[in-house]
Amino acid sequence: MAQILVALSGGVDSSVAAALLKRDGHDVTAVTLKLWGGETDSGCCSVSDVEDARRVAQQLDIDHHVFNFGDDFDRHVVEPYVEAYAAGKVPNPCVECNRHIKFDKLFRRADALGFELVATGHHACVIDHDDGTRTIGRGADASKDQSYVLHMLGQEQLSRLMLPVGQYTKDEVRDLANEFGLRTANKPDSQDVCFIERSPGRGDAGRRAFLGDRIPLRPATIVDQSGDEVGSAPAIELITVGQRKGLDLGGANERRYVVDIDHETATVTVGPFADTLAPSIEVPDLTWTNEPVDDELTVQCSAHGARRLARVDGTTVHWAEPQPRVAAGQSVVLYRGDDVVGGGIAG
């Protein structure tokens, strides 16, 4: 029987993770991380989530604590998120939250309190290999797989991590929650970005309002590839390479996509889809989970994006066929089969 600290968010996945570990006879203690103190409608980091987590811990008869990591969250997640958009990048705050908070700050707190293992409700698996190393693997439910946002975990973290729901589909997790009688059994899934309000029908207004309160948003001029002005956009910081929807192009008949963004002059160039394609992508900080892999891999460039065939040479990912360009700031995650073997951030 191990002493396990379970990150209990107040959602169904972490609730079932705690219940499964308790059922299997482990000494389980729950902790809820209080990260964001501002407004949110995402179903994460709210007062109601803390209360749901507390009530689930009561149902399971396990101790429950709340750790306030708000200052660390602001410093390592929120501030870099804003700075990235100001610099023309598209960040992934969930990756940075996992990197700096859930699998760094929380692990260090677990060490200080004497816990052997840490568990979360992520839909992913920890894979043991014959040479004694471990990797993150895809979860059983492809539509909910979260291995992408856990790609940065190293051997020390993986040696102490448990992901109890990774072997189940989301429907199976909800069935288990009902069997355990958990109050979160039918609770909706939370949004990824917990500090951005995303009320139905608001579109991108939440992100625009959040950034607009923190940095000046600059209107952009949209031009075609001949340099002729064809439209405008209220904020160049919210435009991404490859974007088609949400552009004011004056009723153009043909589909046009963002093929280039000049942040210095606040100019967006649009063109045909073919011009969004590139043969490779640079990943300056690319690291491998264990040893570099020379074989063909599959590569994922967004949380639930398509898997693309590629080979890696140094810090360059060469696509088997040209692929849509990846926005700077996005995580580029390398897989061999269903195992994460490396990753980094697009430059």
Q: What count of other Cβ atoms lies within 10 Å of the Cβ of residue 225? A: 13
Distance in angstroms (rounded) separating the CA atoms of residues 91 and 112: 31
Burial of 166 (0-12, 13-18, 19+ CB in 10 A): buried
Name the phi and psi angles at 8, rounded to 5.
Answer: -105, 105
pLDDT tens digits for 2-21? 899 999 999 999 999 999 99
Q: Residue 344: its pLDDT value, please?
A: 97
The pLDDT tens digits along the chain (347 residues) read 789 999 999 999 999 999 999 999 999 999 999 998 766 545 455 678 899 999 999 999 999 999 999 999 999 999 999 999 999 999 999 999 999 999 999 999 999 999 999 999 999 999 999 999 999 999 999 999 999 999 999 999 999 999 999 999 999 999 999 999 999 999 988 766 888 876 555 557 888 999 999 999 999 999 999 999 999 999 999 999 999 888 877 666 788 999 999 999 999 999 999 999 999 999 999 999 988 999 999 999 999 889 999 999 999 999 999 999 999 999 999 999 999 999 999 99
CB 231 within 8 A of CB 219: no
Q: What is the DSSP string of 274-307?
A: GGGEEEEEE-TT-EESSS---S-EEEE-STT---
Segment 25-34, tens digit of pLDDT:
999 999 999 9
Nearest to 210 by CA among 97, 72, 81: 81
Cβ-in-10-Å burial (0-12, 13-18, 19+) of 323 comes to buried
DSSP H/E element including 21 = helix 12-23
Stated pTM of the model: 0.92
Model pLDDT, residue 45: 58
Residues annotated catalytic, as ranges:
97, 194
Report d(CA 288, CA 307) in Å as an integer: 18
**Domains parsed from the chain with CATH numbers:** 3-121+164-180 (3.40.50.620), 217-271 (2.30.30.280), 276-345 (2.40.30.10)
Q: Which of 166, 167, 171, 188 is CA-nearest to residue 122?
A: 166
Q: Is 319 helix (H, G, I), strand (E, B) or coil?
A: strand
Tokens read off for 295: 């074989």
86 membership: H or E segment, kind and range: helix 79-86
For position 251, what pLDDT does the model report? 61
- Cβ-Cβ contacts under 8 Å for 76 (sequence gap 6 or more): 96, 97, 99, 100, 101
